[in-house]
Structure 1
């Protein structure tokens, strides 16, 4: 970070804020992860043979049950139609792209790796890409995971492969298959602000098995300190233009004009943000999440927008608001800050407990660092990629060639 930005409050900050004490206590009481508690079949025990094949639409019900057993969000057939039949990328692909692969035994499907075609733009070139989606596999068949990943990375007529927010095991296996980490040293640092101290403390205390007395104490400690923390963003400047909020379905021609102007700026790899792609990306059938699109108009034209995704954790009830995307003409700092402030305010107004920012370019994060965020480190590389184009590979080795964030991969694409 630049030397002029304010220091972030990490989860192990030496200052003894009540929030830090609570978070350190929770960390010390963390239960073993599922990967630590899983057991492999006993040596010599029978394991039903599994064959790998491409996904078909008829697999929906079996895959949906497998995903629910694996703890993933409930899927819908309508969403499958959206991902593979209503996908704007289908217009540009040369051949019918794969929907993914399954591992199947005589008893049914025991593994699944989805693959969703997406478009990227770099200079004047349209790049066909694929993002991995919904990897889940029964514990007894985890050793077959690399076969699913290898098939994902071997797809023909695909120049770029992206996997986001996966497990350390998947990241390591991807690197064994010559995938690379995003060349950003701070991309694994998630910035967040606690909007409702009491609920945040209650949810965390309950999640990590703290007793009722500890839960009450934690809620009290967090509330006393974090209620003040929520006011520490500092003074907000007057917006440089008119701020409005629209529905995803109202994304139209002025977004297309902004997108085309953006493509004419400094060359960066950008996931396609044409109006059709934006509407498709943020329309999530069967999802309980909601989306807010915030626009900033300046000199009677759209100067930038931000998208906020609101979701409720199915297990804890924690209300999380995420900055899902932001795009500003010429990266104007005044417009960017106004949109960030509006996104934060939108999260507060939604009743959210937490506002998160993952990734995004340095010019956006520098503004956010002045707002004194908490920072947590993602447990592994949040984004790994592979390209079959040698010239593109050389370009993407430079962190300035990327405009990466939650819009990439499946973080905001799936329910």
Structure 2
């Protein structure tokens, strides 16, 4: 058994691991897209456990560029972490090269599941402080569908033979048409269609850097790359909030469906505002995202990662949301703890949420 960098020739073996635990297996085109990550450089896309030619484990390595004032930094988030029962206990060897990357200020796992969560802290990762580590917010838009889905999952858990009979449930038919430009959004909100290098979004990104906080790169070129994910079956929703000076806050929503007996959800992949943005900006974007979710026939709107800054910006809207977290899902390991990154306020955009989500319309 050996741990080595992932190669594109390993796709079949890694996808087999995904299939064995009912995770969506990326297409070959999606793997090629991940390989073209502008922030990747020459770093590995991840590592595999190679057991005499059989792939028995995988940890994905997604690099990102960060800015703080004039400093340009790099970090990575881990994703799609799978270890076969055949090599039980081998996660330590798989995670070590991920933690040992020398040119990064930090590595993180921002989407840990309930099984993996208790394990990561034993391998050198420390949990983010609350609320990042503990809260996933969900606004319920179709409670009746959510209740029925919960009942069906409970029945199927007791009678596994029901799963093939139930099939794919709660999927709207036909696939809903949605033109963000034709929706009557709340005052101040407009759909973002222009992602060119001279757009309002480009100016918004430059102002995010000027604001001086530690911020993951969101330049138009990177957003164009993100939005070109081959496995997407519906285009993400991009909404902006504008003040008298222009775009001052934006949100990105992407449809997902965790499993066959789960409801369709609009996941908030990004939600960020400039320092000058009014207190109404983020709550108004949440209202707009709820409207978008209803138009797309999603049963809930979910924010899967909530920083203290975002929590404060949500204001009273947070009282209408249900917490779907609680097991601990956000961890980081800093290569230079003394460098002052304690104020890092991560968003879902910095995790693996967007490119690992199960798509509703396969």
User: Normalising by the residue count of structure 1, what TM-score does the alignment of the two structures yield?
Assistant: 0.72
**Aligned match of 1:111 in 54, 57, 62?**
57
Q: CA deviation at 1:247?
A: 4.7
Residues in 2 aligned to 1:308 and 1:192: alpha-carbon distance in whole angstroms: 13
Q: Secondary structure at the match of 2:286?
A: helix
Q: Secondary structure at the match of 1:97?
A: coil
Q: CA deviation at 1:102?
A: 1.0
RMSD after superposition: 2.6
Residues in 1 aligned to 2:221 and 2:187: alpha-carbon distance in whole angstroms: 28
Which stretches in structure 2 are left out of the alignment for 5+ residues?
Answer: 159-184, 358-362
**Aligned match of 2:31 in 65, 68, 80?**
80
Alignment of 1:220-231 (within 5 A): none
Residues in 1 aligned to 2:132 and 2:52: alpha-carbon distance in whole angstroms: 45
Identify the residue that residue 46 of structure 1 maps to in structure 2: none
Q: Secondary structure at the match of 1:370?
A: helix
Identify the residue that residue 378 of structure 1 maps to in structure 2: 325
Q: CA deviation at 1:176?
A: 2.7
Say how many residue pairs are matched: 329
Identify the residue that residue 8 of structure 2 maps to in structure 1: 57
Q: Secondary structure at the match of 2:348?
A: coil
Q: CA deviation at 1:56?
A: 0.9
Answer yes or no: is the 8 Å Cα contact 1:60–1:77 preserved in 2: yes
Alignment of 1:9-408 (within 5 A): 50-85=1-36, 87-90=37-40, 93=41, 96-106=42-52, 108-167=54-113, 170-185=116-131, 187-209=133-155, 241=188, 243-247=189-193, 253-265=199-211, 267-288=212-233, 290-299=235-244, 301-330=246-275, 331-366=277-312, 368=314, 370-371=316-317, 372-376=319-323, 378-392=325-339, 395-397=340-342, 401-408=343-350
Q: CA deviation at 1:377?
A: 5.1
Task: From the superposition, tell whether residues 357 and 248 of structure 1 become closer, same or farther in structure 2 (CA, over 3 Å).
Answer: farther
* Higher mean C-alpha deviation, range 339-348 or range 325-334: 325-334
Which stretches in structure 1 are left out of the alignment for 5+ residues?
Answer: 1-49, 212-237
What per-residue deviation string (whole Å, max 9, x for no partner) do you get for residues 189-236 of structure 1? 22222111221111111011189xxxxxxxxxxxxxxxxxxxxxxxxx
Residues in 1 aligned to 2:22 and 2:15: alpha-carbon distance in whole angstroms: 11
Identify the residue that residue 229 of structure 1 maps to in structure 2: none
Identify the residue that residue 411 of structure 1 maps to in structure 2: 353
Residues in 1 aligned to 2:128 and 2:345: alpha-carbon distance in whole angstroms: 11
Answer yes or no: is the 8 Å Cα contact 1:246–1:293 preserved in 2: yes
Q: CA deviation at 1:289?
A: 5.1
What per-residue deviation string (whole Å, max 9, x for no partner) do you get for residues 297-350 of structure 1? 332622221111111233214111122112222242122222221112111211
